[in-house]
Amino acid sequence: MDERLEITKEDERLFERLASERRAKLAMGTVEDYLRMLQKMRELEQKGEITVHHVTEEYQPVNVTTLSGRLKKIPTVKLWQHKSCGQCGHIPGIREFSLLDNV
């Protein structure tokens, strides 16, 4: 007897999403917590306790969706490049290779 579980494609996606959300709890906060945090951020801004750097039209944003389906604005111009510190690329223990000479 075939014991494979037959699920629809839609259920499969839902399952994957739920699994992702469950995994998310391993990190700080749940998806719901995160959305509440964003709401609180707006409240703190209204109270004048913090300044929020908004993704205004000046940055010509494009909307994407996040895991929860909320719209996230991605700026496309006038970007401040926050570079990697570079330590990841310079982990000791590997001798230097240069394929310029090896290929």
Partner 1 sequence: MDSVVTYPGYVSSLYWIMSELNVPYIDDTNQTSCTAWNYYGSGTSNSVALTAVFLRNMHVAWEKRAYPLIHCGTSYGDYKECRFLLITNSEIRERVRAILKKIDRDIVVPEELVHYSEWLHVMRFEIAQRKKFDVSQVKVAVHAACHTYKLMAEDFTYDESVLGGVKPAPTSSIALALGAKLVEYSNWYDCCGFGFRHILTEREISRSFAYFRKIRPIVNETRADVLLTHDTGCVTTLDKSQVVPLAHGYKESIPVLSDSQFAALAMGAHPFLVCQLHWHVTDWSALLSKMGIDWQKAKEEYKAYLERVKKGEKPYLIKPPPFWVIGLNPVLVVGAGPAGLSAACDLSQAGVRVLLVERREELGGAPARWKYHTLAPDFVPVSRVLGPLIEQVTKSELVEVKKGCVVESFRGSVGDFEVRITELKTRRSETRRVSCVVVATGFEHFDARVDPRYGYGRVPDVIGINELEAMLSQGRVVKRDGSAPKRIAFVFCVGSRDRSTNPWCCTVCCGVSIKQAIELKRILPDSQIYMIYMDVRTTGLWEKLYWDSMEKFGINYIRGRVGEVYHTGQKLLVKGEDTLVRGPFEALFDMVVLAVGMEPGEGTRQAASIFGLNTNEYGFLLPRTPNIHYDSGREGVYLAGSCVAPMSVEEAISDGSAAAMQCVKLMKVMRA
> What is the binding site for partner 1 (CB under 8 A)?
9, 13, 16-17, 20-21, 23-24, 26-29, 31, 33-35, 37, 40-41, 44, 49-55, 58-59, 62, 64-68, 70, 72-89, 91, 93-94, 97-100, 103
Terminal C-alpha separation, the chain: 54
Q: In this complex, which beta carbon is closest to partner 1, that of residue 1 or of residue 27? A: 27
What are the C-alpha distances in Å from 35 to residues 15, 29, 70, 75, 96?
A: 21, 10, 9, 20, 45
Instruction: In angstroms, give the least distance from the CB of 6 to partner 1.
Output: 18
- Give 44's contacts (C-beta < 8 A, 6+ positions apart): 50
Q: In this complex, which beta carbon is closest to partner 1, that of residue 1 or of residue 57? A: 57
